[in-house]
Amino acid sequence: MGERRKYRRKAGTRVTAVRIDLDLVAFTYRKWGHENRAEPGDWILNNAGDVYTVKAAEFDRTYRTVSPGVYEKVVGIWAREAEATGTVETLEGKTDYVAGDFLVYDHEDGPPRYAISATKFHEMYEREEGE
């Protein structure tokens, strides 16, 4: 298994987002090879054309407002390159990945939170100083 390293979001890689502030039970959608779920209070993000939802508590913990509807990720992540094909459980559902994609972790020793292609990962993240 590859070593986890600390990364941060590159400057200027912002997202647009809208909070799901509607009177609804929940909704499901297909993304990353699986059914995912969003609930009232969650956020719908547009991340450079990739649209998906993020749980409310996770969004509040990791993003800050730049301007109305525009946010930037302000917490670092840990990541490692996947060595084989697999599936990771996310807060919203599941995500399939292939060897070479990156598995992203909230904590140095926690479980993976999501997977992302190597191309997108390198567009959005850079190594933390001293890592």
Three-state secondary structure of 75-128: CCEEEEECCCCEEEECCCCEEEECCCCEEEECCCCCCEEEEECHHHHHHHEEEC
DSSP label at residue 20 = -
Q: Domain coordinates of the chain in residue numbers?
A: 5-127
**Closest by Cα among 83, 114, 78, 113 to 98:** 83
Token look-up 């972790």 returns: 105
User: pTM value?
Assistant: 0.84
Round to whole Å and give the CA distance between 86 and 104.
13
pLDDT in tens, the chain (131 residues): 578 999 999 999 999 999 999 999 999 999 988 999 999 999 999 998 999 999 999 999 999 999 999 999 999 999 999 999 999 999 899 999 999 999 999 888 888 899 999 999 999 999 987 65
